[in-house]
Amino acid sequence: MHLTFKNKKITGVLSVLPENEIRFSEEIGNYNFTEKQSVKLGKIMGYGTQRIVDSNTCVSDLCVFGMNYLFDNNLLDKESIGALVLCTQSPDYFLPATSNVISGKIGLSQDVISMDINQGCAGFEVGLMQAFMLLDTGSIDKVVLLNADVLSKKISIKDRNSRPLVGDGATITIIENSTNNQQIDMFIKMDGSSALSLQIPAGGFKLPSSEKTRELVEDVSGNFRSLDHLVMEGDAVFNFVQTKVPQMMQNMFDTLKIDKTYFDYYLFHQPNKFMLEKLAQKMKIPYSQMPNNISQKYGNGSSITVPLNICENIGENALSNSYEVCFGGFGVGLTWSIIKWKLEKLDFCKIINF
Amino acid sequence: MKNKIIEILTEIRPEFDFNVDDTEFMSKGMLDSFDIISIVSDIEDAFGYAIDGAKILPENFDSIAAIINLIETNNQ
């Protein structure tokens, strides 16, 4: 699916990361592998440090903290917000929507639309799509897109495949109507036939959490996890990314009659160092144009990695320069999407600690 | 090439004798998807070129013969 939008701009990005940092090197003893094996894999995958929330912190806490920071520092006018879109897969509650909870805590008007989206690694792109559609109603001039997850709570600490990769956090992206007359091209696909290749099997209505689903079981590789934990068919997901994303990129180049030199930055989701390196190799994109440092430094925070990528790798330069960027997200769903957009000068672009 | 591959596999999974047991690595549980990542890295270091990410599939690492075939076709 190729979607086009016009006259929209991002005016600010704020990343909110928990202050608590854990290190792979300090958790090697949790895993059912020799230290040598884990160190070797860690170097290849980029296992480094991760930001992880404490047991009491939820998505709404991170988002409310970030929103209040913007209000308190006069970076965002509360009265100007028309809609609050939250993309998360670790909501505070089954119901109500966590965005409604956030709206209440930060005191938004009853005319502000709040809505949750259940998407993960392509959640920034899907969230932008929703923001564009809200802006196209003509009744809303500013959308706040919240991407937030605390999925570390759903990862077994004895799962070496997932635990060293996960990160928690939130990002706040402001999207507004503009008169810039620029077209945004979005390409998106979803493969529901492979939906369960990345899942948390228990805890929903299909298989409620129970004593049985909470039992840790050893998999064939030696990792321990329960049915309440996140599990991934690693080889299937890896191959999906390596085949589908380059195809979509080529389709974009052909459709828009541009080539890979068009973009200043490829700001992609960063599941792990190895996967993104392979993707860059496949598409022959220099590493300098496709930053690959988020998962090693902060962990894979699902839909936050792309906006966090903007803050980490463009940072204050985004306040005085504009860039041709390609956003890319891929993962749970399975969902994959790329967006061609000109990132104009931002009003703010920074990372704060929670 | 075969000896180097066996050396790489043995370093990653020293509990198996890859000289004797040289097929069906995945179905027998001798290797998993994260072992494959280590193998890819070692092969790239040993033979000096990058393996196409789309070819990093379990079936291409299921036997010594499959790995040799992957390297030879990747190098063409």
| CB neighbour burial string for A202-237, b if at least 16 within 10 angstroms, e if fewer | bbeeeeeeeeeeeeeeeeebbbbbbbbbbbbebbbb
User: Can you give the residue range of the structural domain that contains B19?
Assistant: 2-74
Q: Tokens for A43, please give them.
A: 């170097």
SS3 A10: strand
Ordered DSSP codes for A26-84: HHGGGSSS-HHHHHHHHHHHT--EEE---TT--HHHHHHHHHHHHHHTTSS-GGG--EE
CA distance B44 to chain A (A): 12
Contact A267, A291 (CB under 8 A): yes
ipTM of the complex: 0.83
Reported as half-sphere exposure (CB side, CA atoms, 13 A), residue A231 has a value of 17
What are the beta bridge partners of residue A169?
Answer: A149
Q: Range with the lowest mean pLDDT among A107-121, A153-167, A201-215?
A: A153-167
Distances (CA, A) of B38 to A1, A41, A198, A342: 36, 6, 22, 38
CA distance A311 to A353: 13
Chain B stretch 12-71, residues whose beta carbon is closer than 8 A to a beta carbon of chain A = 12, 29, 32-38, 41, 50, 52-54, 56-58
| pLDDT tens-place string over residues A247-289 | 999 999 999 999 999 999 999 999 999 999 999 998 999 888 9
CA distance A179 to A141: 12
Beta-strand pair A169-177/A8-17: antiparallel
Helices (H) and strands (E) in chain A, counts: 9, 17
Q: Does A282 touch chain B (CB under 8 A)?
A: yes
Are A238 and B50 inside 8 Å of each other by CB?
no
Q: In Å, how far from its chain's centre is CA A327?
A: 11
Are A242 and B34 inside 8 Å of each other by CB?
no
SS3 A126: helix
Q: Which of A195-209, B23-37, B40-54 is the most confident on average?
A: A195-209
CA distance A272 to A292: 8
Segment (H or E) for A12: strand A8-17
The pLDDT, as a whole number, for residue A218 is 92
| Radius of gyration, alpha carbons of chain B | 11
pLDDT band at B76 (very low <50, low <70, confident <90, very high): low
* Torsion angle of C-alpha atoms A172, A275, A221, A333, degrees rounded to 10: 50
Q: Is pLDDT above 90 for B74?
A: no
Helix axes A234-256, B33-47, angle to 10 degrees: 60
Residue A198, burial from CB neighbour count under 10 angstroms (0-12, 13-18, 19+): buried
In this structure, what CATH number is given to the domain that contains residue B16? Answer: 1.10.1200.10
The pLDDT, as a whole number, for residue A138 is 92
Q: Tokens for A42, please give them.
A: 């860690």
Which residue carries 């090697």 as its tokens?
A: A28
| CB neighbour burial string for B27-61, b if at least 16 within 10 angstroms, e if fewer | eeebbbbbbbbbbbbbbeeeeeeebebbbbbbebb
Alpha helix positions (H), A83-229:
98-106, 123-135
Which residue carries 């600490």 as its tokens?
A: A157
Are B56 and A235 inside 8 Å of each other by CB?
yes
Average pLDDT over all residues of chain A: 95
Q: Does A239 touch chain B (CB under 8 A)?
A: yes
For residue B54, give the nearest of A221, A242, A275 by CB distance.
A242
* Largest interatomic CA distance in chain A: 59
Contact A331, A271 (CB under 8 A): yes
Average pLDDT of span A226-244:
91
CA distance A298 to A275: 16
Q: Per the structure, how many domains does chain B have?
A: 1
Average pLDDT of span B25-39:
86
CB pairs under 8 A between A and B: 51
Residues of chain A positioned with their CB less than 8 A from the CB of B43:
none
CA distance A8 to chain B (A): 35
* More confident position, A139 or A37: A139
| pLDDT tens-place string over residues A290-324 | 999 999 999 999 999 999 999 999 999 999 999 99
